[in-house]
Amino acid sequence: MNYFLTNGSERINCADAEPFFDAEASCWRAGHLTIYVANIDEMRVERQTAPVVPPAVTPIQFKLLWNSAERVGIAVVRKDNMAVDDFMNLVDHPKLTEVDMALQSVQDAIAYTLGCLAAGGFISPGDIEKRTAQILTGVLR
């Protein structure tokens, strides 16, 4: 997490040191930074979290990110859907060592596959966004 002190016209990067107001010295402090002000209200603290980058996972880990009903659905859907079959063939390729879920093409393929699963009744259409986000975390459930 990064912290900033801002007063509307200035934005001071405090990096990962959380700023605090030192009332005795009438200043803001953050790590080695000291910013003197007339009163505490002249500056405010902004917190900025780093964007979450989807991880790269092994092909088997990738498959395990899908629940068993989804994996069964994928097996059914890929028989008649060349796009899903192509995506899964890439995941199944013996030379593939990782699935980089930060790639837009992988994210699109995940969303498309979930859409096909919803169309086939394997998942609820309302779960597509939630499942996409869960899969992209790379955390096995």
Quick: pLDDT tens for 105-129: 999 999 999 999 999 999 999 999 9
User: Is 6 in contact with 28 (CB distance < 8 Å)?
Assistant: no
Q: Of 70, 74, 85, give the one whose Cα is nearest residue 134.
A: 70
**Burial call 100-126: b when 16+ CB within 10 Å, e when fewer:** ebeeeebeebbbebbebbbeeebbeee
- Say how many C-beta atoms besides its own lie within 10 A of residue 32's C-beta: 8
Grade residue 49 by pLDDT with cuts at 50, 70 and 90.
Answer: confident
pLDDT at 38: 85
Whether 95 shows a pLDDT value over 90: the answer reads: yes
* Percent of the chain residues topping a pLDDT of 90: 71
User: Taking all residues of the chain, what is their mean pLDDT, rounded to a whole number?
Assistant: 93
Quick: pLDDT tens for 73-93: 999 999 999 999 999 999 999
Whether 101 shows a pLDDT value over 80: the answer reads: yes
pLDDT at 93: 97
- Paired strand residues for 47: 3
Whether 141 shows a pLDDT value over 80: the answer reads: no
